[in-house]
């Protein structure tokens, strides 16, 4: 059953119906949160479709994924009931249209009517940033990538099938690449506090990224915080020792030596 009680939690109104999979599942209607039971059928159903936003999902695959414990007749009835419930709940934000469409044996989100997904928006922003970079429009590319990073509230939160695992890792790798690109750009532009913020966010997702540790060290030197830069090297060394029983790369060691002996050269 759907929980149709509304609360007043706001979100950017990026679409009439907005489905979020980063960090935790969230469903918005006209910018207002629609509470959905965690781990329930509504979450599982919408998550399956949201991760396949362009292609949709075959009905049989949906039934096996969302209602694996039910026989075929009961599962089909439950699917029909859920689709009808979603239309009653969300249709008013879509000019009466159903948020879910059935066509040629499969279901898909009704993106034409105004259903959008944070993962799809993230991908679109990444592609737009890449296009702008190829056109040498660096400022525009950075803005697109900042917007993408802002959507990423944590790894994709749902499912454990092979498709979801692969998709989760793909998106996570993209996020790390964006953060590294943004940090590098800000460092080159002399925006050291902003570069430091992106580099630390990168380390939060992946504490073993030595390039991020080096970025943090450089930022602290540029901010005239040499001691903190040296401490960051120690943090890097401790993390690598704990996780991999490994030493820092030669480039990290060389940067540490430069900061220790000649910080003005960094």
Contact between residue 143 and residue 151 where contact means Cβ atoms under 8 Å apart: no
Residue 174: its pLDDT value, please?
97
167-219 pLDDT tens trace: 999 999 999 999 999 999 999 999 999 999 999 999 999 999 999 999 999 99
pLDDT of residue 1: 38
In the numeric block, which tokens belong to residue 226? 């040499």
Q: What is the pLDDT of residue 9?
A: 39
pTM confidence score: 0.88
Residues 6+ apart with CB under 8 A from 217: 229, 230, 232, 233, 255, 256, 259, 266
What's the mean pLDDT in 30-44?
93
Looking at residue 54, its pLDDT comes to 77
> 12 pLDDT exceeds 70?
no
pLDDT in tens, 112-170: 999 999 999 999 999 999 999 999 999 999 999 999 999 999 999 877 678 888 999 99
Domains of the chain: 17-117 (1.10.10.10), 160-265 (1.25.40.10)
Question: Which residue shows structure tokens 């009808």?
Answer: 84
């Amino acid at each position: 059953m759907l929980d149709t009680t509304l609360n007043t939690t706001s979100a950017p109104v990026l679409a009439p119906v907005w489905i979020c999979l980063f960090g935790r599942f969230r469903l918005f209607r006209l910018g207002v949160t629609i509470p959905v039971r965690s781990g329930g059928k509504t979450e599982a159903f919408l998550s399956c479709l949201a991760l396949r936003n362009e292609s949709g999902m075959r009905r049989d695959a949906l039934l096996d994924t969302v209602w694996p414990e039910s026989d075929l007749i009961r599962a089909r009835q439950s699917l029909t009931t859920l689709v009808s419930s979603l239309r009653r709940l969300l249709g008013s934000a879509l000019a009466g249209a159903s948020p879910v469409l059935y066509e040629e044996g499969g279901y898909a989100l009704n993106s034409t009517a105004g259903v959008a997904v944070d993962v799809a928006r993230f991908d679109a922003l990444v592609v737009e940033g890449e296009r702008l970079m190829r056109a040498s429009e660096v400022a525009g590319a950075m803005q697109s990538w900042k917007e993408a990073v802002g959507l990423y509230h944590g790894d994709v939160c749902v499912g454990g099938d092979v498709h979801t695992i692969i998709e989760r890792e793909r998106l996570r790798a993209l996020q790390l690449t964006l953060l590294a690109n943004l940090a590098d750009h800000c460092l080159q532009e002399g925006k050291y506090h902003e570069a430091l913020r992106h580099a630390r966010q990168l380390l939060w997702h992946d504490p073993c990224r030595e390039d991020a540790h080096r970025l943090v060290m450089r930022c602290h030197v540029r901010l005239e915080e040499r001691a903190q830069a040296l401490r960051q090297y120690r943090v890097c060394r401790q993390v690598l020792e704990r996780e991999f029983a490994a030493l820092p790369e030669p480039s990290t060691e060389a940067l540490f030596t430069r900061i220790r002996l000649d910080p003005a050269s960094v």
